[in-house]
């Protein structure tokens, strides 16, 4: 019977971590990889029986790859501190583990429901069902969180994805996400996230301009609004689509800015030029050596 390591990455997550770890109490190992928190995160993790390892943050893919390498078990479940595993999903994973049926696949897709502006997207956890539409969405976005670490590795500095060879399965339960329950929480991380995404795009050799940034933003908002049928959610659905479009717009506008700095087009301060250096550093990191 394989054990399961539940992995949580943290930095100053004292407001979220206790409830997250409580939802993972069934796991064979609770592993918290902390990025030098200055609040009560580490103490909370230890109080819930988690093994805490401090590791400086390079980017999200690097941190997840490091975490899975030091996990006690080959089967790992990645959960963010602002997420919760429902009791239905926990029971489903435990049943898989205990029946050894887990080995039928190398990885499993798990859907997530988000609480945003007082509305659940796409539906409330109580009403959630794994539909063909959700299956397609999970595959398209490569939303794998539970897998055999011997088969998987993470890529991309932000909006990271794990690459695992098939076969892949689907779990019926879902993860609950409390990332942006209000507008303040939604806007707080936007600046850093869009900078990391722009750095990733720059490293990939993509190019942009103001017109392209506007186009990508509008296309994203329209696609999400109609493809995800957010009109079913009224004003919150429209606001969500516009927000996602704005994030995409800023990704490509910041990419355009990086290109201008790199080409020395315009007048830039030393602080401005540091943006380009930081972008390059953000997407390049050396793999950590794990003690044997």
Going from the C-alpha of 12 to that of each of 40, 52, 168, the distances in angstroms are: 7, 14, 34
In the prediction, which pLDDT does 227 show? 87
In the prediction, which pLDDT does 158 show? 67
Is the pLDDT at 285 greater than 70, yes or no? no
| pLDDT tens profile 186-242 | 888 899 889 988 988 998 899 999 999 999 999 999 999 998 889 999 999 999 999
Is the pLDDT at 46 greater than 90, yes or no? yes
Q: How far is CA 169 from the centre of its chain?
A: 20
Domain ranges of the chain: 4-177, 189-283
Which one of 3.30.200.20, 3.40.190.10, 3.90.550.10, 3.40.50.300 gives the CATH number of domain 4-177? 3.90.550.10
Phi, psi at residue 64, to the nearest 5°?
A: -70, -40
Compute the CA torsion angle 176, 248, 188, 109 (nearest 10 deg): 20
**pLDDT, average across residues 170-198:** 90
pTM of the model: 0.85
**pLDDT, average across residues 277-290:** 58
In the prediction, which pLDDT does 284 show? 57
The DSSP H or E segment spanning 205 is: none
In the prediction, which pLDDT does 289 show? 35
Three-point CA angle 140, 144, 150, nearest 5°: 130
**pLDDT, average across residues 179-183:** 84
**pLDDT, average across residues 117-126:** 91
């Amino acid at each position: 019977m394989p054990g399961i390591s539940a992995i949580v990455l943290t930095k100053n997550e004292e407001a979220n971590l206790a409830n997250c770890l409580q939802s993972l109490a069934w796991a064979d190992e609770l592993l918290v990889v902390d990025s030098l928190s200055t609040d009560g995160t580490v103490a909370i993790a230890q109080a819930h029986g988690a093994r805490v390892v401090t590791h400086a943050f390079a980017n999200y893919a690097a941190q997840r790859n490091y975490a899975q390498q030091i996990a006690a078990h080959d089967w790992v479940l990645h959960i963010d501190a602002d997420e919760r595993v429902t009791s239905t999903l926990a029971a489903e994973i435990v049943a898989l583990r205990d029946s050894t049926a887990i080995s039928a696949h190398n990885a499993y897709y798990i859907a997530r429901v988000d609480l945003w502006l007082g509305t659940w997207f796409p539906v409330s956890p109580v009403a959630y069902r794994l539909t063909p539409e959700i299956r397609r969405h999970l595959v398209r976005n490569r939303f794998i969180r539970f897998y055999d670490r011997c088969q998987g590795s993470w890529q991309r500095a932000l909006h990271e994805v794990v690459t695992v060879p098939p076969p892949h399965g689907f779990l019926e339960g879902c993860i609950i996400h409390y990332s942006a329950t209000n507008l303040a929480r939604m806007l707080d991380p936007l600046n850093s996230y869009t900078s990391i995404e722009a750095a990733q795009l720059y490293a990939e050799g993509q190019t942009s301009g103001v017109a392209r940034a506007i186009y990508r933003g509008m296309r994203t908002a329209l696609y999400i609004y109609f493809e995800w049928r957010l009109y079913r959610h009224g004003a919150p659905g429209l606001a969500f689509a516009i927000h996602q479009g704005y994030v995409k717009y800023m990704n490509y506008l910041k990419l355009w800015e990086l290109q201008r700095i790199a080409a020395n087009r315009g007048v830039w301060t030393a602080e401005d030029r540091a943006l380009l250096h930081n972008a390059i550093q953000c997407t390049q990191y050396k793999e950590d050596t794990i003690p044997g």
